[in-house]
Amino acid sequence: MLSGFYTAASGVLTNQRALNLNANNMANVKTPGYREQRLIKTTFEEEFLRMQGGKSTSMGSGSLMTAAASQAVSFKPGDLTETGGAYDLALGGDGYFVIQGENGEYLTRNGNFRMDAEGYLSLNGIGRLMGENGPVRPGNEGFQVDEQGTFRNGKGDILGTLRIVMPDIPENMQFYENGMFQAGNAQLLPVNTAVIQGSLEGSNVDLSAEMTRTMEIQRAFQSCSKALTIIDQMNQKTVSEIGKI
């Protein structure tokens, strides 16, 4: 009975975490450049497996309790939408914009920039867009960016080049709820990617798929919760019967 309790409790916690991720995905369905997250599930039985010589070797018998192994991020690109906004930027290939925030540099595909009070291009609530020589400050004479990421003022004077980077191992980056990344253990490499002014990349979240997946997780959550209730009732009955002896 104790094993059944732990199995049900593990299922509740794992499915609650999966629900939280799905809810975050749906909340960011309109966030430019957002990347959906997934919870990778496993079992304690599978956790006993070890790779030896390219083959999985069982290290013993374990429980089939569900556990959260890790969170995965889908790096599938979102669709590009033409906005006509002078400060809206999109990347036509691999790579990330670099944003200087209060807690270090962030990486993002969100190109929904605005000019801050000091004339710098910035991402609202995050920080300033970085060029190769520091934050991008286009001034008030207008702003143009070519496909190579070179930005000019309204007079055509070159002000610098956008800093576009690509992590060597994207999975090693640290993901944040608002679609921002930090390098984490990944090494950042410069990358040549077409920059498209006047367009935004949407999120890669499929709302219909998320709603379907949420219903599936809710059913699993309810099943585990019901199992916990039944086990609790059985325990209460057992205690009551022992008390009569």
**How many whole angstroms separate alpha carbon 55 and alpha carbon 39?**
25
pLDDT at 241 over 90: no
Element (H or E) spanning 80, and its range? Answer: strand 80-82
Domain ranges of the chain: 2-75+205-244, 80-199
pLDDT score, position 233? 62
- pLDDT tens column, 55-104: 555 544 444 555 555 678 889 999 999 999 999 999 999 999 999 999 89
pLDDT at 242 over 70: no
- pLDDT tens column, 158-202: 989 999 999 999 989 999 878 899 999 999 999 999 999 999 999
**How many whole angstroms separate alpha carbon 69 and alpha carbon 86?**
43
Share of the chain above pLDDT 90, in %: 47
